[in-house]
Copies of this chain bind each other. A is one copy, B any other.
């Protein structure tokens, strides 16, 4: 099944930032002869998975791909179960809420419900952000066991996105460890100035971290004194969701008899 395999690798080039791609660009990127690429793309186009600009002949993602992709939310049990939960969190807190998963070396928002405060498009569904500059990313990394985490940090540059982005591997490592024990990460302006975020893990069947549930809060609406109750709320909802996903236990937040009941706040130093 090599034909389909190379075809899908071409399609994956459209998952990146590039808006449109030409036959030549794709052929070069994939190190394949143009004739082959041309034929494959034509077939994707015929099936609606790619569209071709009439003028420039450049290809872009097609409606069939969009429609297929939007079924992910409906068929993925986690995402499906999470939608009402996110809604409720927005209702109760007034803040935009997201559900994020790992995807390669970035985090991907698979679900987002926006609150009344306007937030930059970067937080919309389908957007990707680096691990080290987001609370969701830190929660997901903390879910990897030490070995996996070390592998990540080893060959990764912690590029600064804003002046507040953590770039020191030691500080980063310590934050991840704190997140691992407290089950929460709080970041302030690390990926966009003036924007804070709180995230907690959602656990799956074998109590591994399968997603991060988080709030995005513009600083001017972020009341410091509410932090603890927001974290408690997130933990509460993440517990519900985790149990629904088959997790045996959710060891964070107050309702559980487990460890670290109230020190959650100390998790992610500003």
Tell me which residues across on chain B come within 8 A of A19, comparing CB atoms: 74-75
When chains A and B are docked, how far (Å) is the Cα of A114 from the Cα of B112?
11
Q: Mark the stretch among A65-73, A142-150, A248-256 that contacts chain B.
A: A65-73
- Tally A residues with Cβ within 8 Å of B: 54
Closest to A71 in B: B61
Tell me the interface secondary structure of chain A in the complex. Answer: helix
A101 interfacial by beta-carbon distance below 8 Å: yes
A47-B5 contact in complex given A15-B68, A72-B65, A114-B114, C-beta closer than 8 Å: yes
Q: Count chain B CB atoms within 10 A of each CB in A75, A87, A121 and give the residue with the most.
A: A75
| B8 engages A121 (CB within 8 Å) | no
Closest to A104 in B: B67
Tell me which residues across on chain B come within 8 A of A73, comparing CB atoms: 66, 126
When chains A and B are docked, how far (Å) is the Cα of A20 from the Cα of B70?
14
5 A-B contact pairs sorted by A residue (CB < 8 Å):
A60-B72, A61-B68, A61-B72, A66-B69, A67-B69
